[in-house]
A and B are shown apart, each in its own frame.
Chain A
Amino acid sequence: MSKSRDVLTGEHFLNGDEASAEGAIAAGCRFFAGYPITPATEIAERMAKRLPAVSGVYIQMEDEIASMAAVLGASWGGTKSMTATSGPGFSLMMENIGLGMMMETPCVVVNIMRGGPSTGLPTLVGQGDVMQARWGSHGDYGVIALTPSSPQEAFDMTIEAFGLSEKYRLPVIVLSDELIGHMYERVVIPEKKFLPRIRRRKPRKAPGEHLPFQGGEDLVPPMACAGEGYRLHVTGLTHDEMGYPVITASAQERLVRRLCDKIRRHAGDIIRIEEEATEDAEVIVVAYGCASRTARESVHMARREGMRAGLLRLLTVWPFPDGRIRELAARGVKGFVVPEVNYGQIAGEVERCAAGRDVLMVGLMGGAVHTPDLILEAIKEMV
C-alpha cells in the first residue's frame, strides 16, 4: 500500500469499515475525530494510519459528543470531515448533529449499527437506529441517510455521502451495520479521475453583501468558511438570513421550513433505490443494508418456486421513497414484505405509503440476520 496516495486505485479485499475509511479519503476527507466503539473501530484505526499519510488530521476525542463537535468545527475550517460510531455513540452525537443541521454544516457520520437499546449487543448486528437517524436530534430538519449492503457500497456510498453533504450543506449519515462493517469482500477502487469531488459552493458576493443563510433557488446558501474574510456569526439559535439570532415565530418559520424543504424539494435527486423483478411482482420485498442481502436470495427462491416476488432495495432510507411505494401500491400489488433487524421502523414507513395494501414486517431484534427461508415464508404467506 503506497501511503502517500489518497485514492488506492485497484482491487482490494476490505471489510465495510475499512472501505468506508478509504471512501472518505478518496472523497477528499482530511479530518477525522472519533471515539473507539465496537463495531466501528476499524474505521478509526484505518483513518489513524491513512490520514496522516495524506497530510490529514486524525484525532481521538474524549467522547462522541466532542467528536461530533470537532467535526463541525473542522468543516467550518474548510476541511471535509467525518466521524464514525455505533449506537451508543450515535446517541451521544445527536445534539451536535442537530447543531450541524442548524448551522448547515457539511460532514459525514458513519453509524455501524449494532443491537440496541443501550449497550445491547456490541459485537452483533442490528438495524435499530433507522428512526434515530431520521428524528434523533430534537426539532425538525431534513435528513439524508444511505444504507450500504456490501463493502463496495460502503466505499461508494461514503463518497456519495460527502458529495451530498457538500451539495446540500448538512451532516449526511451512512447507516451501515455490523454485518456489512465486518464483512470482507472485494472492493474495486477506481482511478481518481473517475471519482466525483464535490465541494461546497462559495459565495459570489463580497463580504458585507453576502447573506450567509439565505437559501436562493435551491434553498442551499453558499458557504463561507473561517478565515475567508466574511466574518460570519454562525449559531445554533434560530437566526435570520444574516445569521444573527432572532427569537421570533417568523424567523423560525423561514429557517426551519427551509432546512426541511431543501431536502424535500430535492428528494428526487437524492433518493436511490434498486429494483429486481418488480415489473410483474405481486409481492414486493422492501429491504436495505444487511437484510437486503438475504432478501435478494429469498426473492430468487420464490421465483424458482413460481411466485411473483420482487425486491425493492433502499440505498437511501432517508428521504424515504414514498412515491415509488405509492406507485407499486396503486398498480395493485398484493402487498409488501419488510424484513429488517428491528421491530418495524421502515415497515411503518412502507405501510404509510401502501394505501391499505398488506404489509408484513419480518422483524428480528438483533444479533443475527434473517435466513432466506424466513423471508421466503413471509412471501408465501402473502401470495
Chain B
Amino acid sequence: MRYKLVDPEPFRLGEFKQKIDETHGIHPDDRYLKPGRIPHIWCPGCGLGIVLSAFIKGMDSMEVAIDNCAVVSGIGCTGRVAGYLNMDTYHTTHGRAIPFATGLKLAKPEMEVVVFSGDGDLFAIGGNHLIHAARRNMDLTVICVNNFNYGMTGGQAGPTTHIAAKTVTTPYGNCEYPFNLTHLAYASGAVYVARWTSFHARYLIESVKKCFAKKGFKFIEVLTPCPTGYGRPNRLGSGLDQMKVYRDNSEIRNDINPMEAESGLNGPIIVGEFVDREKPTFFERYTEGVLAKASAG
C-alpha cells in the first residue's frame, strides 16, 4: 500500500504563549487556573463557575499545595472542570473518573485526589463505581454537580431528572423516579455527605474545606441551574431565576437523615451537612491488615 497524507497545521507554540501572556494572571484565582484555558465553555447562567470558584477558595484557605492535589473528571459539562484547574488533572472516560482516581490515589497515597463530575456521569454510567468506592471508604473527595439532566449532549433526561419534568427525551414528562444522591452515597458508606446549591457558595466552601481536612470517601452534591438544557423545557427561567428558587425553597437541615432530604422541582430543597462520621479508609485497612501481615509472613 502507498500512502497519500495531508500535512496538518503545526502546533504554534508562539501563538499559544502569546495567548497566555494576554489572558493569564489578571484574575486573583489565576494561579489555580491552567494558563491559556479560560474562557470556559459553560453557558451563561450555569452554576459550574460558582462550584469551581468555591473549590478554589476552599483549597486556598486550607493551603493545600497545588502540586499535592490531583483532579479527575469524567465526561460532560462538569467533566470539563479538570481542564481548567492548574494542577495534575485527568479527563477520563464517561463514568470512570472514580476508578481512575482510585488507582491514582493508591499509587500516590500522599496526594489529595478529588473527583469532579456530573450526576449522569457519577450515578448513571458510573453508578457502580461510586457505590463501591464509598463501600471501600476510598480516600477521595467526590464533588457531584447535579443539574438534573445531560447538559453537554443537549438536555436529555437522566437518573436525577424529576418526575414529570420535561426534557428532549421526556417530551411527555419524565416517568422515572430520580435518585436521592446523598442517600445513596450515605447508604454506600460515605463518611461525609453534604448537599448545597450554587446559591450556597459560602457553605459549599466550608464543605470543601472539611473534605480537605478529612480522610475517607467524602461526597458533596451541588444543585446547579442548567438554563439551557433543563430550565427552558421546564419553564424555570434564567440561571438567576433558578438562584432565586434556591434561595426561597432551600432549608438548611444539618444532620437530617439523607433519606428524608428532599430536592423537588418546585417543592422544598433540603440542604446541609447530612453526614460526618469516622471510619478507617481502604488504604489504612490495607496497610494495617494486609501489608503488615504480608511483610511479617
**Chain A residues engaging chain B, CB cutoff 8 angstroms:** 3-4, 31, 33, 49, 52-53, 55, 57-59, 61-63, 65-67, 69-79, 81, 95-96, 98-99, 103, 211, 214, 226-237, 240-242, 244-245, 249-251, 253-254, 257
Contact = CB atoms under 8 A, between A and B. Distances in A.
A226 B110 CA distance: 11
Interface stretch (B86-94, B171-179, B232-240, B262-270): B86-94
Contacts of B286: 52, 57
Contacts of B111: 77, 226-227
Contacts of B70: 226-227
Contacts of B105: 73, 77
B101 to A, nearest CB: 6
A234 B91 CA distance: 6
A242 B83 contact: no
Which of A74, A95, A96, A241 has the largest number of chain B CB atoms within 10 A? A74
B297 A250 contact: no
Contacts of B100: 69-70, 72-73
Interface string B3-25: 00110111101001000000000
A59 B11 contact: no
A3 B294 contact: yes
A77 B107 contact: yes
B129 A62 contact: yes
A227 B102 contact: no
B8 A253 contact: yes
A31 B67 contact: no
Which of A4, A70, A79 has the largest number of chain B CB atoms within 10 A? A70
Which of A66, A73, A81, A254 has the largest number of chain B CB atoms within 10 A? A73
A69 B128 CA distance: 13
Given A235-B91, A237-B91, A250-B9, A52 B290 contact: yes
A99 B11 contact: no
B291 A52 contact: yes
B96 A211 contact: no
A81 B11 contact: no
Given A96-B93, A253-B6, A69 B99 contact: yes
Which of A4, A59, A226, A244 has the largest number of chain B CB atoms within 10 A? A226
Nearest to B291: A52
A253 B293 CA distance: 52
Interface residues of B, number: 50
Contacts of A62: 99, 128-129, 132
B89 A234 contact: yes
Contacts of A251: 8
B128 A63 contact: yes
A258 B108 CA distance: 30
Interface of B: 5-6, 8-11, 13, 16, 34, 36-37, 66-68, 70, 72, 82-83, 86-93, 96, 98-108, 110-111, 128-129, 132, 286, 290-291, 293-295, 297
Contact of B8 (A49, A78, A254): A254
A66 B103 CA distance: 9
Nearest to A80: B107
A244 B36 contact: yes
Nearest to B34: A233
Contact of B88 (A230, A241, A245): A230
Contacts of A78: 107-108
B91 A73 contact: no
Contacts of B101: 73
Nearest to B37: A244
A31 B106 contact: yes
Contacts of B297: 3, 53
A59 B290 CA distance: 11
Contacts of A249: 8
A127 B52 CA distance: 49
A257 B5 contact: yes
A244 B83 contact: yes
